[in-house]
Amino acid sequence: MKLFTFLFAYILIGLNTNAQTVFTKADTLRGSLNENRDWFDVQQYTINVHPNIEQKTISGRVIWQVKTIKPAKDIQIDLQQPLFIDSIKLRYLNNKLSDTLQNLKFSRSNNIAIVHFSDKPSINQKFNLYIYYHGTPREAIRAPWDGGWIWKKDSNGNPWISVACQGLGASVWYPCKDIQSDEPDFGAIITIDNVPKNLKAIANGNPLTFLENEEDSNNKIFGWQVRNPINNYNIIPYIGDYVGWSETYKGLKGDLDVNYWVLREDSVKARKQFTQVPQMIKAFEYWFGPYPFYEDGFKMIQSPHLGMEHQSAIAYGNKFANGYLGRDLSGSGWGLKWDFIIVHESGHEWFANNITTKDIADMWVHEGFTNYSETLFTEFYYGKEAGNEYSIGSRRTILNDRPIIGHYGVNEEGSGDMYAKAGSMIHNIRHVMNNDSLFRSILIGLNKDFYHQTVTTQQIENYISNISGINFSKVFDQYLRTIQIPTFSYSYDEKEKLLTYQWKTCVAGFDMPLNFKFEGADFTLLPSDYQPQKRLIKLAHFDTKAFADAIKRQYYVEVKME
C-alpha cells in the first residue's frame, strides 16, 4: 500500500517532496509579478515554430501583442536555456499599423532576458514585440512528468512529435511571459512549418484555412488559432501521421465542434474508445455548466505521452483502454468503467483552463476539483453510491507529506495531495452542505462567475462559503494548509445512551459539521474543538465499527473511540 501510494504520487506529478526548499532569485523572477512584468498585459501570442526533426532543433518567431497598463519599466522575457534569443524588435500600434520595426537592446541571464526601452511606452499604449530565437530545446525524457520537446516515432517509423511543459513552463519552447496570472486575452495563433508532406501538425483551436495548401518543395505549413484566453503551458503543437474525423455535439450553448486526431495505425480502436467523449461532455455540462470554449471547439489528440489538459486540444495517450493505463487507481472497480485520461484531462477544461489560478501554489483548484470530477462522472452514470465508493478508494493515494498549498511567488506547487486529498475535501464540503442541488449550483456558479478568469484560492474559498452560507474557512485551513487529518473523537455510554464527541488534531476553531446515515436514520453532529458535545442516541446496541464507517464513508477524517 505505501509503495503503491509513493509510486503513484511520484509518477503522477513528479514532485520534489524535500521537507525544506531553498528558493533562488531565479525562482522569484519566474514566479512573481515583479516590476518588469506587472506593467503590461499580453493580449495575444502569434507563434511560428520551425522544427528540424532530424537535428531535434527549433527556430521561430513569437509576436507578443501587448497593452501597457501602468508606467513602463524594462520588460522580462522568459525563454529557457539552451534556447537562444537572436533579436527583439518593437512596433507600436497606433491608429494604423506602423511599418517601422525598432531593434531593442536586451541582456540575457539564465532563463530570462531583460529588454531595455530607449523610450518607454505610455499607459494604454499597444505594441508588438517580435522575438526571434533558435536552439536545441530541452528534451522530455519521461513526459509528461518532466517537460520539453518529445521526439518519437510511431510503429511505422514516422516522426511523432509534441511538447509537454506544465510545471516546467511554456518558456521551455517559446519566449513568453511565463506566469499563469497573465493569459493572452485574445488567445494565440500557432503556425508550424517544415512539416514533412506525409504528416500533419495539429494545435489548439481551429485551423487557419488559408494555410491548408501552403507548402514548399518538400514540406507543409499548418496554422491554428485559439480565440479564448489560454494558459501558456496549454499552447502545444502535435506532429504525426494523423488522421481525423469530427462530430457535432448538441450542448448547452448549441452546436459544439468535436474533432479527433489519432495515428493512422490506431484509428479503428480510437473510434471505439472515443465514443466516451460525448458521454464526458454530457456529464460535465450537467455538473459544471457549458463547455467553456465553444468558439474553439473540442479536440482529443493522440499524443506521444500519457495525457495533458491542453485547452481545446486534449493530449491523449492512455492506449485506448479504460482506467489509468488499464488500472483502477481507486481500487473500487468503478475506475475501470471509463477512460481516466478522457475524463480527468477533459475535466480540466472547466477547472484549470476556464478557471485558472494566478499562482501555481494554488493548483489544488485545478487538480482537486478535477479529481472530484472523476467521482461526479462515476455518479452521473452509475449512481451516488458508486461515486462514494470511487471517492473513498481514491484516498489511498494520499500521502500527507506537506501542505497542498505551496509557497507563493516562487513558482512552487504544493503537495501532490492537491489531487485526491483536495478532492476528498470537496467531498467533505458537499456532505456538510447536505444539499446536492446547492452543491451543483456552486460548481456551475464557479464556472460562470469566474468565466475565463485567473483567480486566487481565497476567491474560491470565499465564494463557496458565501454561496453555501456555511463558513468553510477552517475546513480549507485544515486540509490545504496542514498535513493533520482531523480526528472525530468520541465515547458512548451504553447505559445512558449518551454520545460524547469532539474534534481533535485540528486547527483552532475547526468545527466541521457531520451529516450521515447510521442505523437507517439521518444524523447531524456539530462537533468542535472547543469542548465536548453530547447527544442522546437511543439504540438497542451501538455498533462502534458501523458508526465509524458511516462517518468515514462521507468524510475524509479519522474516527477514534476514546
Task: Convert the pLDDT of each residue in 125-167 to its tens digit.
Answer: 999 999 999 999 999 999 999 999 999 999 999 999 999 999 9
Q: What are the tens digits of pLDDT across the range 267-300?
A: 999 999 999 999 999 999 999 999 999 999 999 9
Determine the pLDDT at residue 539.
85
Could you tell me how far CA 480 lies from the centroid of its own chain? 17
Determine the pLDDT at residue 538.
87
Determine the pLDDT at residue 3.
34
Alpha carbon distance 515, 513 (integer Å): 7
Alpha carbon distance 74, 77 (integer Å): 10
Q: Please, what sign has the CA dihedral across residues 323, 327, 331, 337?
A: positive
Of the candidates 187, 345, 316, 309, the one whose C-alpha atom is nearest the C-alpha of residue 240 is: 316
Q: Please, what sign has the CA dihedral across residues 165, 168, 169, 173?
A: negative
Determine the pLDDT at residue 541.
87
pLDDT band, very low/low/confident/very high, at 7 (cuts 50, 70, 90): very low
pLDDT band, very low/low/confident/very high, at 93 (cuts 50, 70, 90): confident
Helices (H), 39-88: none
Q: Comparing 119 with 302, which gets the higher pLDDT?
A: 302
> In which residue are the cell numbers 506525409 written?
198
Determine the pLDDT at residue 100.
78
Report the amino acid identity of residue 424. S
Which regions of 404-450 does DSSP assign to beta strands (E)?
none
Residue 315: how many CB atoms within 10 A of its CB? Answer: 26
Determine the pLDDT at residue 9.
41
Determine the pLDDT at residue 96.
56
Determine the pLDDT at residue 99.
65
Determine the pLDDT at residue 20.
63
* The Cα angle at residue 195 between residues 190 and 200, in degrees rounded to 5: 75
Q: What are the tens digits of pLDDT across the range 218-236?
A: 789 999 999 999 999 999 9
Determine the pLDDT at residue 213.
53
For residue 8, is pLDDT > 70?
no
pLDDT band, very low/low/confident/very high, at 17 (cuts 50, 70, 90): very low
Percent of the chain with pLDDT over 70: 94
Could you tell me how far CA 5 lies from the centroid of its own chain? 21
For residue 240, is pLDDT > 60?
yes
Q: What is the DSSP string of 364-414?
A: HHHHHHHHHHHHHHHHHHH-HHHHHHHHHHHGGG----S-SS--TTTT---
Length of the chain, please?
Answer: 562
Determine the pLDDT at residue 540.
83
The 3-state DSSP class for residue 299 equals: strand
For residue 215, is pLDDT > 80?
no
- Among 120-124, 174-178, 383-387, 438-442, the minimum mean pLDDT is found in 120-124
Alpha carbon distance 12, 148 (integer Å): 17
Instruction: Look up residue 199 and give its three cell numbers.
Output: 504528416
What interhelical angle do 457-468 and 436-449 show, nearest 10? 140
For residue 260, is pLDDT > 70?
yes
Average pLDDT over every residue of 214-218 = 64
For residue 327, is pLDDT > 90?
yes
Average pLDDT over every residue of 394-413 = 97
Q: What are the tens digits of pLDDT across the range 487-518?
A: 999 999 999 999 999 999 999 999 999 999 99
- Among 178-187, 508-517, 536-545, the minimum mean pLDDT is found in 536-545
For residue 426, is pLDDT > 60?
yes
Instruction: Look up residue 299 and give its three cell numbers.
Output: 479536440
Determine the pLDDT at residue 299.
98
Q: Which helix (H) or strand (E) holds 159?
A: strand 159-164
**Structure-derived torsion over alpha carbons of residues 309, 312, 317, 319, reported in degrees to the nearest 10:** 120
Q: Which helix (H) or strand (E) holds 512?
A: none
Alpha carbon distance 276, 56 (integer Å): 35
Determine the pLDDT at residue 219.
87
Alpha carbon distance 297, 530 (integer Å): 52
Percent of the chain with pLDDT over 90: 89
For residue 5, is pLDDT > 70?
no
Alpha carbon distance 560, 517 (integer Å): 18
Average pLDDT over every residue of 70-74 = 95
Helices (H), 291-360: 340-347
For residue 123, is pLDDT > 50?
yes
Q: What are the tens digits of pLDDT across the range 43-66?
A: 999 999 999 999 999 999 999 999
pLDDT band, very low/low/confident/very high, at 209 (cuts 50, 70, 90): confident
CB-CB contact of 117 with 89 (8 Å)? no
Residue 540: how many CB atoms within 10 A of its CB? Answer: 6
Dihedrals φ, ψ of 274, to 5°?
-80, 5
CB-CB contact of 171 with 179 (8 Å)? no
Determine the pLDDT at residue 6.
36
59 Cβ contact partners less than 8 Å away, ≥ 6 residues apart? 49, 50, 52, 133, 134, 135
Determine the pLDDT at residue 218.
76
For residue 18, is pLDDT > 50?
no
* The Cα angle at residue 422 between residues 499 and 551, in degrees rounded to 5: 20
Q: How many CA atoms lie within 13 A of 367 on its CB side?
A: 23
Of the candidates 496, 463, 478, the one whose C-alpha atom is nearest the C-alpha of residue 421 is: 478
> If you average pLDDT over every residue of the chain, what do you get?
94
Alpha carbon distance 187, 226 (integer Å): 5
> What does R_g of the chain's alpha carbons equal in angstroms?
25
487-493 and 498-504: which strand pairing?
antiparallel
